[in-house]
Chains A and B, each alone.
Chain A
Amino acid sequence: KNEVEQSPQNLTAQEGEFITINCSYSVGISALHWLQQHPGGGIVSLFMLSSGKKKHGRLIATINIQEKHSSLHITASHPRDSAVYICAVRSPAEGNTGNQFYFGTGTSLTVIP
């Protein structure tokens, strides 16, 4: 059983299309993260949110705590957006003072010119 589920697994879009990636989780969280992994392997943090909505350029992230669901939207998609997008949640860990992260398996996005 995965604590974090993402959909779709793979996504191909034409340049300019509006893109939505979904994330559902089953654990209590203190924050949800959206990460971007480029073909070289390095990962960068796009958003960290615990409620509501955040926007950065063409990227928008929303979270519904009651429904345990988050979405990442990309407006006016561009080939440079091609990457793997990973949803991760930070969950209070039982028995220790640290917080654990749980990761989705990622959504591989390809934007075609």
Chain B
Amino acid sequence: DGGITQSPKYLFRKEGQNVTLSCEQNLNHDAMYWYRQDPGQGLRLIYYSQIVNDFQKGDIAEGYSVSREKKESFPLTVTSAQKNPTAFYLCASSSTERSPLHFGNGTRLTVT
């Protein structure tokens, strides 16, 4: 079945460490997105990519980095520069402007 796979589901890190969240899709979608979800807030866009080897900053890109070397993969690195990294991270993809968003099951990151 086609879908988006995020791994791991739970991730624990010490403050000061970089951590990379995986996102893989087999839907052949061009566009991929990373969102952060915090309690009481709507999803906020971190980065998005419309095509391979190109990506754009979202509203809260500071302290994050991404790469898009393959169409299927859009990993997110949470760097030590991110002031408040503990959150639920969701990866999504879509094929065209007129298609729905498909989401992964998310990664819950806890930094202590």
Contact = CB atoms under 8 A, between A and B. Distances in A.
Interface in A3-52: 4, 30-31, 33, 35, 40-45, 48
A4 B41 CA distance: 11
Interface residues of A, number: 27
A107 B102 CA distance: 20
Interface residues of B, number: 26
A90 interface: yes
| Chain A binding surface SS class | strand
Contacts of B35: 103
Contacts, number: 57
Contacts of B106: 41-43
A98 B31 contact: yes
A96 interface: yes
Interface in A65-113: 86, 88, 90, 96-106
B40 A31 contact: no
Contact of A4 (B42, B90, B92, B103): B42
B101 A101 contact: yes
Interface of B: 31, 33, 35, 40-45, 48, 50, 56, 88, 90, 92, 97-106, 108
